[in-house]
Structure 1
Amino acid sequence: MATDHRAGTTPPEEPPARNAALSLRRGLRVLDHVAERTRTGAVSVSLGELAATLGTAKSTVLRLTAPMVETDLLRRTPDAGFTLGLGALLLGQSYLEGIDLRTAAAPFLRRTAEATGLTCHLVVPDGTDIVYVDKVETRGTVRMGSRVGNRLPMRNTASGKAIVAFGDPDLLGAVLAVPVEATTEQTITDDDRWVREVDGTRARGYGIDDRENEPGIRCVAAPVLDHANQVVGAMSISGLASRFPAAAVREAGDRVVRTALEISVALGSSSARLALTRTAPVGAAR
């Protein structure tokens, strides 16, 4: 060990990298837990809850959260709890702005929302879930509960069906391996029936969520491809079933397919460019 001859003392040893990594992991668990509780409607998360989640002392939680409070990733609330700070918002916003998919899709989502009066969503896959990365509503659109950053199982959504139908062949098995949570009376819990839904999605080019995820909400979605012609997400249009009747699904599906192809072309997909030249304009007779 080297000696600091100028001070005449031996400098203290640096903490082991293993301890630093453990602290980082614990800190990230705290941040993730607060984020998850915030997404589910919690105003704040108590110090005691965080300590119980980590299985550690409250003093340890205070030590772990101190630098995150200083950088505004977390904020202390009047009840001595924690919530996400502005720094977390800026970090998330920077991430979203860095997604080329979101930038490329934005004008197409706005155009489709204005033309249909329905809500448009853009999602990306994450494991067997989808994550909303953009949402466009117009003045006449009925407000929906979806939010950018929300996560939903692929199993219950039109976008999930589209991603499974046209994405990695192994994804179907992974989705089927996850227990189904019926969120409405229309949720498809039978595996064989759901596989047939995926097959139907592949045949017609778009997935349908007929009030399976939210009561009274109908949705259609089509996959979005990148420059390597790989599925990187899906775009959808959604609305109240009373304003988006089953009879309108085919025309809406054709529109969604075309819009998803246009987004894919903007991302450099050669197969989407070829398909777009063969796709009749929306509303054309068949």
Structure 2
Amino acid sequence: MTVVDLDDALSVPAAKKDLPPSMVERMTLILDAFDGRTSRLTLEEVACRTRLPRSTVHRILDQLVRLDWVDHASFGYCLGRRAMGLGGGDNGHSQVRAAAAPLLHELHMQTGMVVHLAVLDGAESVYLDKVGGRMAATLPSRVGGRVPAYTTAGGKAMLAWVDPEQVDGMYGPRLSRSTDRTITELSTLHQELNRIRQRRGLAFERGEAVRGIGCVGVAVRSADGPVAGISLCGDARTVQLERVAPLVVDAAREVTRTLHPELGTPRRGRRTPEIPDSSWSTETLDQLLAVQSGQWL
């Protein structure tokens, strides 16, 4: 057995230490280049901070993106869900739940419908909270449960604010079916997400996740993209989703103001909105939301 003297090992010329010899060391350098959860860097910025060759950084970043350690969007790179989860953290989910909790209960009291709070985890929506009296037991959703994001109103509301290229990476050309009304083509999903963006972020679904259940959802957003989705669910045969849509918009706006006050307008005292007496046409609803929601929705 060869014995390596520690002093000799530490006396390796500095020139040989310039480029870390192992993939683990290089990967660590790249992850350390990000200052925190909100840090966003270009390829050139990562190469500059790590002092690694640009080609090396690009190759390793590609692998980190595929393994969810890093996310890649139009602005560059940021830490992914695996990196965010290190150290036992909850990716800020407790903060989102705390900000949304009073609004979820208010939505349920106003409408009698089931209210969901969900976040994106890859291609799936994960439920952080569920509020709703007796009807809640009739829905298969549960806190901690997962569903394909494209099947729910809250999930589609979040996907609408994800780069289309990322959506392509989440799903294949064919999407699995939950009901006979589920979107099953990626091209159809992109058309639906575009319609949601045109409606300032308002998403609907009728029986796509669960037969007979209709939902309306809106995303809570930050400068970096969707943070969470809030949705109202009820019996698709009787509920008029357009009537309750402004309430979901208002709740999502309030949660956004709480989590990211720099994105909202100055508060002038919140008034509890009433449910309109009649439903609106799509054109009327679009005009209303354009006035109510501003540019962040």
How high is the TM-score relative to the length of structure 2? 0.56
Q: What's 1:237 paired with? A: 232
Change (3 A) 1:193 1:266: same
Change (3 A) 1:270 1:148: same
CA distance in 2, matches of 1:275, 1:166: 25
Q: What's 1:271 paired with? A: 263
CA distance in 1, matches of 2:261, 2:224: 5
CA distance in 2, matches of 1:275, 1:186: 40
* Residue among 252, 255, 268 paired with 2:244: 252
Q: What's 2:214 paired with? A: 218
Report deviation, 1:258. Answer: 1.4
Q: What's 1:125 paired with? A: 120
Report deviation, 1:128. Answer: 0.9
* Residue among 203, 206, 227 paired with 1:207: 203
Check conservation: 1:142, 1:240, Cα contact below 8 A: no
* Residue among 94, 99, 102 paired with 2:94: 99
SS of the equivalent of 1:102 reads: helix
1:1-286 aligned at under 5 Å gives the runs 99-138=94-133, 143-177=138-172, 179-204=174-199, 205-226=201-222, 228=223, 230-244=225-239, 248-273=240-265
SS of the equivalent of 1:220 reads: strand
Report deviation, 1:97. Answer: 9.5
Per-residue displacement from partner, 1:238-262 (whole Å, max 9, x unpaired)? 1121231xxx222222221111111
Report deviation, 1:203. Answer: 1.3
CA distance in 2, matches of 1:187, 1:263: 29
Query: Which ranges in structure 1 are unaligned for 5 or more consecutive residues?
Result: 1-93
Report deviation, 1:179. Answer: 4.2
SS of the equivalent of 1:134 reads: strand
CA distance in 2, matches of 1:243, 1:276: 35
CA distance in 1, matches of 2:249, 2:213: 20
Report deviation, 1:170. Answer: 3.5
CA distance in 1, matches of 2:226, 2:91: 18
CA distance in 1, matches of 2:135, 2:204: 23
CA distance in 1, matches of 2:243, 2:170: 28
Query: Which ranges in structure 2 are unaligned for 5 or more consecutive residues?
Result: 1-88, 277-283, 289-297
Change (3 A) 1:231 1:269: farther
Change (3 A) 1:275 1:216: farther
Change (3 A) 1:140 1:149: closer
Aligned AA (1:99): S
Check conservation: 1:118, 1:142, Cα contact below 8 A: no
CA distance in 1, matches of 2:268, 2:213: 29
Check conservation: 1:236, 1:256, Cα contact below 8 A: yes
CA distance in 2, matches of 1:184, 1:194: 15
Report deviation, 1:187. Answer: 0.8
For the aligned residue pairs, the C-alpha RMSD in angstroms reads 3.2
> Percent identity at matched positions?
31
CA distance in 2, matches of 1:145, 1:138: 14
CA distance in 2, matches of 1:168, 1:116: 33
Aligned AA (1:149): G
Aligned AA (1:263): V
Aligned AA (2:151): N
Report deviation, 1:129. Answer: 0.7
How high is the TM-score relative to the length of structure 1? 0.58
Aligned AA (1:268): H
